[in-house]
């Protein structure tokens, strides 16, 4: 699964926040869980509507974009 199919955004769902596709779970919730020391397994247990594939696709995408932060500024 790629990140584009793992997420969606609509003004009618959670005030336009980016959510995991087919759910009302904001993607930011995953990062908050990880930031607070909780693991992916706990997140998936707490939010069973989010699939492992969706969460991993988002994490892979985020990991790829972290490299952009260290790129030299032009």
pLDDT of residue 51: 98
Query: Which DSSP letter does residue 24 get?
Result: S
| Domain assignment present for 61 | yes
Query: Which DSSP letter does residue 72 get?
Result: P
pLDDT of residue 68: 79
Give the number of domains in the chain.
1
pTM: 0.87
| Domain assignment present for 60 | yes
Domain that holds residue 62: 3-69
| Domain assignment present for 18 | yes
- CA 61 to the chain's CA centroid: 9
pLDDT of residue 69: 79
Per-residue pLDDT of the chain (74 residues; tens, 9 = 90+): 988 899 999 999 999 999 999 999 999 999 999 999 999 999 999 999 999 999 999 999 999 888 777 777 77
Q: What values do phi and psi take at 65, rounded to 5?
A: -80, -15
Q: Could you give the angle at which helices 52-69 and 27-35 cross, rounded to 10 degrees?
A: 70
* Token couple for 10: 């609509």
pLDDT of residue 70: 76
CATH of the domain at 24: 1.10.10.10
């Amino acid at each position: 699964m790629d990140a584009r199919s793992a997420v969606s955004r609509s003004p009618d769902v959670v005030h336009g926040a980016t959510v995991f596709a087919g759910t009302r779970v904001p993607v930011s919730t995953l990062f908050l869980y990880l930031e607070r020391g909780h693991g992916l397994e706990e997140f998936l247990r707490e939010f069973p509507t989010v699939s492992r594939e969706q969460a991993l696709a988002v994490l892979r995408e985020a990991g790829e974009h972290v490299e952009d932060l260290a790129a030299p500024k032009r």
